Every structure is written in C-alpha cells, then in structure tokens.
Amino acid sequence: EDIPLIQNALDNLTGGGAPRENMGKPMFDLTNSPGEPAPEIIPGGQWFNLPAGRQVLNLQELRGKVVLIDFWTYSCINCIRTLPYVTKWYDTYKDQGFVVVGVHTPEFEFEKVTENVQTAIKRHNINYPVAQDNNFATWRVFQNRYWPAKYLIDKEGNIVYTHFGEGDYDITENTIRALLGLDKSAETNNPTRGDVRSPEMYFGTSRLENLTNEQTASSKAKLYQAPTNLKLNEFALEGKWQFDGEKIKLVGNQGSIKLKFFAGNVFMVASSNSPVQFSVNLDGEHSASGDILESQLYDIVN
C-alpha cells in the first residue's frame, strides 16, 4: 500500500511526521549495528492470550527474550497470509526464549470491536499475546506505516530487523534463529504474488479511486444503474446504495457491484448486522455463493 493515496490516509491517522531513520524498509545488518531501542507497547483496548493472572504485557519485562512485534488487522488479506508463518514460529521457538506480540491496529471501525478481534484470533489459531491498538498509540511510537509489519527485538531490547508486507519468511525465521543462538537452517517456500495487476480498492469516499466515471458517490441513498462496459480496475453499482467516508451501504434488499479485474483471487471486506446471502458471477456465469455472517474478509473468487 505504498502509494500516495494510502500514505496520505496513514498520515491522517498517525499525525504525520517523518519516519524514524531506516524505518519503512528492512534495516540493520546484525553484524554491523546494535539496532535501536524498541518503544513500549501502549495498548488501546483489550489484551488477549495473556498468561494466567496477567492484565498487561510490556517489553521491559521481556528483556532477555527475543520478541517479534507483529502489526496486523484481521480483514487485511496480506496480514492473513502471513499468520500461518508467525504462528508456526511461535509454536516452534516459544520454549527457547522467543515471544510474539501481535498488535492489532484496525483499518476499519468494525475491526475495533473486541468480539470481532477475539473471533479472528480463534479462527487463525493465534495462541500468542495480542493487544488491541484501537487508538494507533503503539503504531505511532513505532512510527509504523504498513500492514503487516514485523519488528524483531533482540534480548537487549533493540529493534534489529524489520520486514513489511509478505514474503522473505526464511530470512525472518533465520534472523529469529540467529538471535536465539541457533544455526540458520530455515528453508521456507516463499510464495510470490505473481502477476497481480488489480490493486486494493476502497468504497468509502475518503479513499475512493476506482468508481467508474459514469457514477458519482452520494452520501444520501441513491439508485444506481451499472454501465455495460467498464475499464480495467473500475467498479460500478447496481441498486440503491449510500456512501460514507469508510464504506458503501446497501439500502434495501437487492444490489450488486460490478468489477472488471485482473487477478487470481478476489477478496471482499463485508459487514452485516444479520445474515445476508450473496452470489458471484464471473464472466457472466455463476461461480460462488455464500452468506455474510460477520464483519470480516470474504474470499469470493478463487
């Protein structure tokens, strides 16, 4: 999401300010630099998966351990694809002085809801501690700008490695092993994104870019009719819809979204207060159907 539209939106969330030197890209060769002190976790909501009797967790008390801080949010497909690796690292090395702390910093309002985060933690089999960061306090002190983002902290409490986005799982794991005093023997099959040309798209007016020029966003309920043809990476609406800064809302019982895309998979973030049925037509033919039961990411084309 390293594009001007997204970076401007992140600046609005975090208050702007120049990033810390070397933050925003993989940093620090372990052999050449001692790293820099990690800021403290500032929870903005509930803690999950803490040891019995504990209410909070802080980095100061984790000195002497290797700590991975993982910024994520549960409806981000990029974050979701990294979770199997993170949970495996935790299960593999937790008895050797390795700790993972997930920092759940929400992109959307519904991701601030404690019950939704708890459901996602169970769905992805996350057993390590997770802190809600609903007010972006921990995000700000780390001067983070990415989902997902990983900050690896050595036994002295210094950030010695970062990784942003997906991939390089073997490099990250071997860095963990090195900090634990183990040999660098991890070999991970690193998936690639392939030739994915359609970008992440937003329906809310604060980040709206891909709505067809033949339609305009309205903050009041408006009846839309989709054009016959769309350009690549354009979407159009059919039925009655209402826009706000973060999303579009279907008004009534029926509506559709038409999208011309180039990608192997399509995911949609959707939310409903009651079960809603949806169906997907791909190139004019029915390809999938399902129910929107909770606020989460749905895999609609695979």
The Cα 97–Cα 26 span in angstroms is 23
* Token pair belonging to 51: 């040891």
User: How far are the Cα atoms of 68, 120, 187 from residue 177, in angstroms, in the given order?
Assistant: 12, 28, 12
Give me the sign of the Cα torsion angle 79, 82, 83, 87.
Answer: negative
Which residue, 23, 29, 97, is CA-closest to 63?
Answer: 97
User: How far are the Cα atoms of 1, 43, 60, 240 from residue 149, in angstroms, in the given order?
Assistant: 12, 17, 21, 38
* Token pair belonging to 108: 């959307």
- In this predicted structure, what is the pLDDT of residue 189? 54
Say if CB 188 and CB 175 are below 8 A apart: no
- In this predicted structure, what is the pLDDT of residue 198? 83
- In this predicted structure, what is the pLDDT of residue 23? 41
pLDDT digits (tens, 9 = 90+) for 26-61: 444 454 566 789 999 998 999 999 988 888 999 999
- In this predicted structure, what is the pLDDT of residue 295? 84
- Order of all β-strands in the sheet with 235-243: 222-224, 235-243, 248-259
Taking 70 as the pLDDT cut, the residues of the chain under it are 1-34, 186-196
Query: What sections of 18-133 are H helices per DSSP?
Result: 77-93, 114-123
- Order of all β-strands in the sheet with 47-48: 36-37, 158-164, 149-153, 66-72, 98-104, 130-132, 47-48
The Cα 278–Cα 80 span in angstroms is 23
Which residue, 45, 159, 15, 172, is CA-closest to 105?
Answer: 45
Burial class, 202, CB count within 10 angstroms (exposed 0-12 / middle 13-18 / buried 19+): buried
- In this predicted structure, what is the pLDDT of residue 193? 47
- In this predicted structure, what is the pLDDT of residue 24? 38
- In this predicted structure, what is the pLDDT of residue 22? 39
- In this predicted structure, what is the pLDDT of residue 43? 85
User: How far are the Cα atoms of 37, 95, 98, 153, 265 from residue 180, in angstroms, in the given order?
Assistant: 18, 11, 8, 11, 37
Say if CB 68 and CB 159 are below 8 A apart: no
The Cα 173–Cα 146 span in angstroms is 20
State pTM to two decimals.
Answer: 0.74
* 18 phi, psi to nearest 5 deg: -70, 135
Secondary structure of 122-163 in HEC code, one letter for each residue: HHCCCCCCEEEECCCHHHHHCCCCCCCEEEEECCCCEEEEEE
- In this predicted structure, what is the pLDDT of residue 14? 55
The Cα 301–Cα 44 span in angstroms is 35
Which residue, 289, 290, 241, 297, is CA-closest to 270?
Answer: 297
